[in-house]
Every structure is written in C-alpha cells, then in structure tokens.
Chains A and B, each alone.
Chain A
Amino acid sequence: MLLTARVTDAAGNVAETTAQVEVVSSGPASFAALHGPTPETHMVTVDRPTLLDVDATVNGLHVTADGALIFPPDASRTLTVHAHSVIVDGKLTMRPASPETVHALRFANIDESVYVGGGHGDHHSDPGLVVTSDGGLDAHGTAKSPWSRAAGSLVAGATSILVDDASGWQVGDEITVVPSDSPTASGVAQQRRYDTRTVAAIDGNAVTLSSPLAYAHPSFTDQRTGVVYGAEVLNLTRNVRIEGTPTGRAHVMFHARQTFSHVGIRWMGPRKPDPEDPRYTVGVLGRYGTHFHHVGDDSRGSVLDGVVVRDTGNHAFVAHGSHGVTYTGCIAHDTYSEPFWWDPVEPDGSKVPSHDVAWVGCVASLVRYDPAAHGRRVSGFLLGFGSNNSCVGCVAVGTDLARDSAGFLWPEATPHLNGGVWDFRESVAHNNSHHGVFTWQNSKENHTAFDFVCYRNGGSGISHGAYRNHYQYRRFTCAENKGAPFTIHATSNAIVDIAFTISDALLDASGGPRAAELVRHVLPGTQATRLERCDFRGYTLAAVGQNWDQPGEIEWVDLIDCAYEPGLPHVDMNQALPGSIIREIEGGQVVATWEV
C-alpha cells in the first residue's frame, strides 16, 4: 500500500511525502473485514485467500481463480447463500479439525420453479454449488465408518445394537437401520421398514439408540457360503455439510477432477411439476446431488469417499460423460430415481459413455419415484454404458418402485450401442420392492456377475432378459425372495462360443413353486442356456419350470451337475412348444431328457 503523509501549518502551507508498505498474505484475509457478515451485494467476490471468520449470509458467491474461501479448522461456521449460486473457480476449503466442528454451506430461500436445468447453457443461474474446470472442492469431514452391518439379528424394541465397525461414530449422530425382514411379513411394506435413530451413547461397536427399534431387522445367512449378513446400519451424519432446505433443494455440479470425503449432502435435486401429468413431479435435468458433467478425461483421479447424499429429489451420484471417478463407501439414502447413475442418452439422442468409474462399498437405500407406480426399470444402481466400470461390494436396499425395478439394473440397450460391461461382484441386493437384479439387454458383450447375494426382495432374486444374450452369473445366492430365485426371460445366443450361463449358485425358492422359472421367450435360443452346479432348493413344484402367461419360443436348457430337492420333479415343461429340450447332465453324461 502507498501511504501519503501531509503536514500543514497555520498559514495553510503544505508538505507531502509518501511511504510504501507491502501487504503480504502469509495467512488468509478476514471475510468479516472484507465483506462483513451480511453483504448486500448480489454476488460477493472472493478474490484472495479468505478465512470465513464469521457466520455469514450472502446473495451469491464467486470464488475467483486466485481466491479461496477457507472455513476455519477449529471453529464451526455456516455460510448461508440466499437463492443464488456459489461458483468456485478457485478453492472452497472445508476441513474441520475435530468431530465437534461443523462446516456448513447452506442454500436457502430457493424457489424450485426457477430452475432452468440442462448442462450446456447458463447453469450458473440455477441455485447451487458449481465447481468449474479451474476450481476445487477441498472438503474433508472427520473420517468415520460410513456404514456397518449389525452383528446378528435385531429385534423390535431393542434400544442398543452391536455393529461390526462403529469407528468414528459420535453421540448425536443420526443412523438408520435398513429393512431386512421377510417380504411376506404383514404390516408396513417390507422395503419401508427403516428405523432412523440418534446415537445416545456409544462404547466401541455397541450403540445405544435414542429410542427403541420399531421393526425387527433379522440377519440373513447365506447357506452357500455361511456368511451372515446383518442389516446395514447407515451413519447419515457428517460434519462437513452442503445442503439446501426441505422446501428448496439445490444442486452440486463439477467441471473438473475433485476429491472430497465424509461430506454430507442433503436436500438437493429440485423437482418441477410433470408436464405430462401435473399431479406428479419430475427432477430437473442436470441438477443432482453430485454431478460430474461432461468432464471427460479431466475427471480421472476423482475420489468421493464416505460421502452421503440424502433427502434428495433426483439422482445422487452422477458421472455423466466423465471418466475415472471412484466412489468408495458412499451412501445415497431417500433419493429419487437411480441414485448411482449416468445419462443413458443425451437430449439429442446421442449416447456419451463413462469409462473406468468404480462404485466400491457404496449403498443405495430407499429409492423413490413419483409416483412409485411409474418407476419401472428404475434401480439403486444403473449399470450404464461405458467400459471398464466396476460395482464391487455394494448394497442396494429399499428401492420403493414399480414392476421391473431392482437393486441393480443393466438397462435396455439399443442395437447400435451395446450395454456397458461391468466388473460386478461381491454385492448384495435385499428388501427391494421388486427384483434384486434386473437385466434387459440383447448385448453381444461378455457380461459377468460374480459372488453376490439377492435375498428377501419383493420380486425375483434375478429377473433376466431381454431376448438373447450370454450373460455369466457365477457363484451367487438367491433366497427368501417373494418371487422366483431366478426368472429367465432371455435365451442363449451363439454369436460367440459362450452360452448364457448360471453356475455355482444356490437358488432357494423358499416355499415357492420353482427355483428357476422360465417365462415367455421372444426369440429362440441359438444354443442351450446352461445351469451348471446349481443347488436348487425350497421349491414345491419343480426345480426348473415354465411360468408362461402367453405363448413364447422353445425351451433349450442344459442342467449340468446340479443338486435337487429329493422326491420332487427336476423339470416341469407342461407349456413347452414342439422342439423344446431340457437335458440333465451329470459327469458329462446325459442322464435325463425332457423333450417336446
């Protein structure tokens, strides 16, 4: 700064001289000194490293490329933004030093009807957080186990629970115990039996609840592996928070690589009246819980760890045309449409795949649609287009949707673009309103699904279509579902040597008529569908049988080295068309043939 000294005598004679003092930024500037706690301007500009040393309310904020807005590590702060955006070209830093310190960015007074939506226009006008191609969200809440499984069954009325890992959990945290009871139990729909409570006390992995559990949450034992699955307990509290309000939802969008962790994102995803039926609402295009938008290769290396998106009116975790994004331990709870998703098509009908996206240990819980009856083929995880994507160790629970919805879904592909090939394994789908897994593809790609479990879903464990493909489902268990363990729509194609194969599976009908149910086929198979080393249990009619509601195509199935319930038919083909054949093969020898 330049200082000018002026000295005047009694006669008015003046002398002046100057001195220079350099202002250096070894530390950030004071937000309060620069802007005050309630700036009146439309958009506050942060053009230098600035410490948010007061709770502040602004009408929009722009962090320039040379700027940084820094929440103090040792103090709780809330920055409230009234009905406008926060645009980050520089850096937004939220790194509390202790669990008790809370950093919150809150968007208030939002009128959801003002949203424009879309991705390529002036999306800065839509209220929300937009981190541009030069910007960074440097947000890291205190680390904690994002979710854990209950150690065994939980009974209704329990006031304390034991979980496998409660590291980092705090008194006052909000947790929810997901539904796990039988889909045939009476009372509240099985996919809605959540118990959301506050942690009243904690001792190691023993958690005392603020009030007793309303529902039972029984564990499930996989009879194939012996693994016991307790109900998932989701910790929904984070001490870095980016949120709208219950009456005005905002959005979060990224245009560059980002890495942030243990952030709670709430009340995002604005909705508008459905133009086709104003009784219902639809999500605003492109305004999601988190949205990497057409970042391409520049998003590679992004990691979202332990992030929660909840109470959100649209998709939660979206890597749209954005490659190399890894999500670990992320939770979507009580959201609309597919929480883990990217656009299947662009508005112009073109498709932009996303590659090298990883969902690891993530949970999709309580998925809604408006109305639920319109939520066909909606899922917790939509395994979309692209290459080298992975879904490992994830959980889909509580999808509250319509027919053909599922925990995990391979969506219908078009002839000119086959579906994405995923590394899908070690995942769990349970207590969804309909299927655990739903597939509807005629893909020529070699899809695999390994080492997974589908239990207590309201439909099939797996419902597999569409017409012909050669999916490989290996080493998995379907049990205690309301529908058939495995419903087979598709037949096996012969474009390659690999057949549509179900192998090393426990298919437990749990009192239903069939363990593997053949439903109407649209196209005949060009080779046999192979069921290898399957353990068929719990059926009352036949291990493998037809359940046609209308005429279809011939059956062509090989049952290879499978195990059956004693004293019951292995095959029921009472509706089969001429030319159908099912063979039972043991040790390489055909031991039985059902032929029409």
Chain B
Amino acid sequence: MASPVIRSVTPSATTVEPGGQFTVTVDAYDPDARTLTFTASTTDTQGGTATATTIVVVGDPLTFELACDDASVTVTQDPQAPGVFVVTA
C-alpha cells in the first residue's frame, strides 16, 4: 500500500495580521484507490436504448491534520469539509 499523495496546501492568504484568520485547504488522494465505472443501459420495445454511467472510487478514507510552528496560533478543522482548516494568527 502506497502512502497518500498531497496535491496541494493552499492558504487563502499569504500574509496575515496578528490576530487575523485565514483558511487552509489540503488536497490529497490515495494512489492505491481504484476507479470503478458502472454502466447501466435499458432498451424499449422499439429498440431504443438509454445508457447511464456512474463512477465509484474505492480507496482508504484519509485523515487530515494541520500544525503550526507558532504555539500562539490556533488551527481548527472544518467538520463539514475534511481538509479545510481555519487558522487564527
């Protein structure tokens, strides 16, 4: 099993004032994940056909963490959006 891959870490600001807030979005994926494509089709009595496709990714759930070297900075994860953090400088 390979390690996860972090595509990017993106702060919403590159500078911040003391006491100010910004968000950090961490984008990562599991390289071992497989993509399964399911195709469904149906045909009527006149021979007409309808097709629909759905894709399912099969991989490990990922856990995101964000830490800061300044102990006075607070980091809070958005519970509704894994990989998104609110940072208070």
| Stretch touching chain B among A27-35, A207-215, A470-478, A536-544 | A27-35
A5-B66, A21-B22, A25-B17 as given contacts; A34 in contact with B72, CB under 8 Å: yes
A9-B30, A23-B16, A23-B18 as given contacts; A15 in contact with B4, CB under 8 Å: yes
**Within B19-69, which residues are at the interface with A (CB < 8 Å)?**
19, 22, 24, 26, 28, 30, 59-69
A550: chain B residues at CB < 8 Å are none
Inter-subunit contact A21/B60 (CB<8 Å):
no
Of A5, A6, A16, chain B has the most CB atoms within 10 Å of the CB of A5
Of B1, B17, B70, chain A has the most CB atoms within 10 Å of the CB of B17
Give the interface SS of chain A, mostly helix, strand, loop or mixed. strand
Kindly provide the distance from the CB of B61 to the nearest chain A CB, expressed in whole angstroms. 6
Kindly provide the distance from the CB of A411 to the nearest chain B CB, expressed in whole angstroms. 53
Inter-subunit contact B60/A28 (CB<8 Å):
no
Inter-subunit contact B14/A22 (CB<8 Å):
yes
A574: chain B residues at CB < 8 Å are none
Kindly provide the distance from the CB of A7 to the nearest chain B CB, expressed in whole angstroms. 4
The CA-CA distance from A469 to B58 in the complex, in Å, is: 108
Inter-subunit contact B16/A21 (CB<8 Å):
yes
Would you call A186 an interface residue if the criterion is a C-beta within 8 Å of the partner chain's C-beta atoms?
no
Kindly provide the distance from the CB of B88 to the nearest chain A CB, expressed in whole angstroms. 8
The CA-CA distance from A555 to B26 in the complex, in Å, is: 102
Inter-subunit contact A19/B19 (CB<8 Å):
no
**Within A1-42, which residues are at the interface with B (CB < 8 Å)?**
1-11, 13-19, 21-30, 33-34
Inter-subunit contact B24/A5 (CB<8 Å):
yes
Would you call B81 an interface residue if the criterion is a C-beta within 8 Å of the partner chain's C-beta atoms?
no
Would you call A192 an interface residue if the criterion is a C-beta within 8 Å of the partner chain's C-beta atoms?
no
Would you call B3 an interface residue if the criterion is a C-beta within 8 Å of the partner chain's C-beta atoms?
yes
Inter-subunit contact B61/A10 (CB<8 Å):
yes
A5 contact from B14, B64, B70, B72, Cβ within 8 A: B64
Tell me the nearest residue of chain A to B61, going by C-beta. A10
B70: chain A residues at CB < 8 Å are 1, 23
Tell me the nearest residue of chain A to B11, going by C-beta. A21
Tell me the nearest residue of chain B to A25, going by C-beta. B18
A29-B18, A29-B19 as given contacts; A19 in contact with B89, CB under 8 Å: no
Kindly provide the distance from the CB of A370 to the nearest chain B CB, expressed in whole angstroms. 49
The CA-CA distance from A3 to B18 in the complex, in Å, is: 16
B2: chain A residues at CB < 8 Å are 13
Inter-subunit contact A19/B9 (CB<8 Å):
yes
A26 contact from B17, B62, B67, B72, Cβ within 8 A: B17
Would you call A48 an interface residue if the criterion is a C-beta within 8 Å of the partner chain's C-beta atoms?
yes
Kindly provide the distance from the CB of A509 to the nearest chain B CB, expressed in whole angstroms. 71
Inter-subunit contact A7/B4 (CB<8 Å):
yes
B68: chain A residues at CB < 8 Å are 1-4
Inter-subunit contact B60/A10 (CB<8 Å):
yes
Inter-subunit contact B17/A8 (CB<8 Å):
no
Inter-subunit contact B60/A15 (CB<8 Å):
no
The CA-CA distance from A8 to B83 in the complex, in Å, is: 11
B59: chain A residues at CB < 8 Å are 9
Inter-subunit contact B87/A13 (CB<8 Å):
no
Tell me the nearest residue of chain B to A20, going by C-beta. B14
The CA-CA distance from A9 to B32 in the complex, in Å, is: 10
A9 contact from B1, B16, B65, B69, Cβ within 8 A: B1
Inter-subunit contact A48/B66 (CB<8 Å):
no
Inter-subunit contact B14/A15 (CB<8 Å):
no
Inter-subunit contact A21/B17 (CB<8 Å):
no
A15 contact from B3, B10, B16, Cβ within 8 A: B3
B61: chain A residues at CB < 8 Å are 9-10
Tell me the nearest residue of chain A to B3, going by C-beta. A13
Tell me the nearest residue of chain A to B59, going by C-beta. A9
B19: chain A residues at CB < 8 Å are 29-30, 33
Would you call B80 an interface residue if the criterion is a C-beta within 8 Å of the partner chain's C-beta atoms?
no
Kindly provide the distance from the CB of B25 to the nearest chain A CB, expressed in whole angstroms. 10
Kindly provide the distance from the CB of A24 to the nearest chain B CB, expressed in whole angstroms. 5
Pick the 3 closest A-B CB pairs, nearest first.
Answer: A9-B60, A29-B18, A13-B3
Given contact pairs A10-B60, A19-B9, enumerate 20 new A-B contacts (beta carbons under 8 Å).
A5-B26, A5-B64, A5-B65, A6-B65, A7-B4, A7-B63, A9-B60, A9-B62, A10-B61, A13-B3, A15-B5, A17-B9, A18-B9, A19-B11, A23-B16, A23-B70, A26-B17, A27-B18, A29-B19, A34-B72
* A-B contact list, 12 entries, CB within 8 Å: A4-B66, A5-B66, A6-B66, A8-B65, A9-B59, A9-B63, A19-B10, A22-B16, A24-B17, A25-B17, A29-B19, A34-B72
A residues apposed to B, CB below 8 Å:
1-11, 13-19, 21-30, 33-34, 48
